[in-house]
Amino acid sequence: MTLRALSLTLVAALSLAGCGNPCVSLCEDAKECPEADVATNCEQACESVKEGVESLDCLSLYEDAVGCQAGFDDVCAPDESCDEDVAAYLECVAEACVANPDNTFCG
């Protein structure tokens, strides 16, 4: 998964709120946004991202970013309150992929 695809997956995942897995909830809510990919299997996408970020030792930063954005009222128009969390997560992934380019999550 490319870093851009990872970012888009994260944004989709971060757009859901609710019970259970906040990533899945965010992803499902994001399907109502304009130009959303309604065919996304949110449980599968979230599990894939989780496994990938775990392999890069970025899981806690991913969870911080998802947890922060799970609190948005409108997932289609998030504010900037989580920008630091998202940036820290994406920086962790980028650095880990530079250090470990053979990781399947980085491709």
pLDDT, tens digit (0-9, with 9 covering 90-100), for 15-52: 433 346 889 988 998 999 998 899 999 999 999 999 99
As a whole number of angstroms, the distance between CA 59 and CA 91 comes to 12
**Of 96, 99, 83, which is closest to residue 52 (Cα–Cα)?**
96
pLDDT value for 10: 53
pLDDT value for 20: 67
Q: Is residue 2 predicted with pLDDT exceeding 90?
A: no
Q: Is the dihedral of CA 59, 63, 69, 70 positive or negative?
A: positive
Query: Across all residues in the chain, what is the average pLDDT?
Result: 83
SS3 46: helix
**pTM listed for this prediction:** 0.75
Residue with tokens 């969390």: 85
As a whole number of angstroms, the distance between CA 52 and CA 105 comes to 5
Q: Is residue 11 predicted with pLDDT exceeding 70?
A: no
- Mean pLDDT over 95-102 rounds to 96
